Amino acid sequence: MTTLIASSVVRGTNQGESHGGVFLVDFARQQVQQVIDWNTADIDWQGRGWDRGLRGIAFDGERVFIAASNELFVYTPDFRLLASYRNRFLMHCHEIFVYQRRLYLTSTGYDAVLGFDLDSNRFCFGLHVVAVGSGYQGAPFDPESEEGPAPGNQLHLNNVFCDGTGMYLSGLKTAGMMRFDGRSLVRAATLPRGIHNARPFGKGVLFNDTTADRVRLLTPDKDISFAVPAVDESKLTHTDLDDSRIARPGFGRGLCVLGGTLVAAGSSPSTIALHDLEKVKTVSVVSLTADVRNAIHGLEVWPFS
């Protein structure tokens, strides 16, 4: 067992209330510690999640990067704030990922991915993604210039993953996972609509099939899946809000690989489950809250235990 770090978004909250946080989850001891309570008033309160809560999580040495909707925060391992960075093309950020001295951020509100240079601490790369026919096209831009894409959110890009074969992008409306090799953007896999956290895994694709309430590993010859942990609806709190303001129970988002065949996946109300891909078995579940508004967003292995 290991310790995970998770971020959350609390939908439907009002100004003055906490609308997210960061948690350390010790599965061996079944203990949860909240290390950041997010209650800033300087956000846009419209809509469902909108600007609320904290999003993707990544690490560079002794720096912990945590994204909010339109700002990148840098913390020490004991959660002292070191710095924060904004960019006009960062809107409704979702997942982030570190690869080869850059931190990549999905800018859902611009259908784009931004690159942040980890040595010079500046935004140095932008890629705007558009659907063209049955495929996609990527247009690079300079995020520090005044010229760039207009706000869009046509694809709802929500995940970025990089390895030696390229940059992989996906979102709620992409119906698949794309691969950018520095020159062109191609469909690497066809997937259902309404997904989160898609990434290559072995010979297949690992992702949250959010619409189907399942975590899936799809390979050429297998479809391994796990149901999102069942929720006892009689124990849920804050159920008096209308459906447009809450994350429905069982909404799956947040995914990380612990090593080998063990993966962790998040869901709402904020719950984290460990799944064994080899045994096709859910081996452990920790619930952070019964508040139906509270949904896991970012999820990573905590490297400082």
pLDDT digits (tens, 9 = 90+) for 37-47: 876 544 343 44
| DSSP, res 43 | S
| Under 8 Å between Cβ of 6 and 296 | yes
- C-alpha neighbours within 13 Å on the C-beta side of residue 269: 17
Domain spans in the chain, listed from the N-terminal domain onward: 3-301
CA-CA-CA-CA torsion sign (38, 41, 42, 47)? positive
**Confidence at residue 41, expressed as pLDDT on a 0 to 100 scale:** 40
Q: Is 300 helix (H, G, I), strand (E, B) or coil?
A: strand
**Confidence at residue 247, expressed as pLDDT on a 0 to 100 scale:** 57
Could you tell me the pTM of the whole model? 0.91
**Confidence at residue 266, expressed as pLDDT on a 0 to 100 scale:** 96
**Confidence at residue 49, expressed as pLDDT on a 0 to 100 scale:** 41
CA dihedral 287, 288, 293, 297 (to 10 degrees): -90
For residue 90, CA distances in Å to 167, 291, 305 come to 18, 29, 31
**Fold observed for domain 3-301:** Neuraminidase (2.120.10)
**Confidence at residue 234, expressed as pLDDT on a 0 to 100 scale:** 66
pLDDT digits (tens, 9 = 90+) for 220-274: 999 999 999 987 776 776 555 544 444 578 889 999 999 889 999 999 888 999 9
pLDDT 10s per residue in the chain (305 long)?
689 999 988 765 444 455 578 999 999 899 999 999 876 544 343 444 445 569 999 999 999 999 998 999 999 999 999 999 999 999 999 999 999 999 999 999 999 999 999 999 999 999 999 999 888 999 999 999 989 999 999 999 999 999 999 999 999 999 999 999 999 999 999 999 999 999 999 999 999 999 999 999 999 999 999 999 987 776 776 555 544 444 578 889 999 999 889 999 999 888 999 999 999 999 999 988 877 778 899 999 999 97
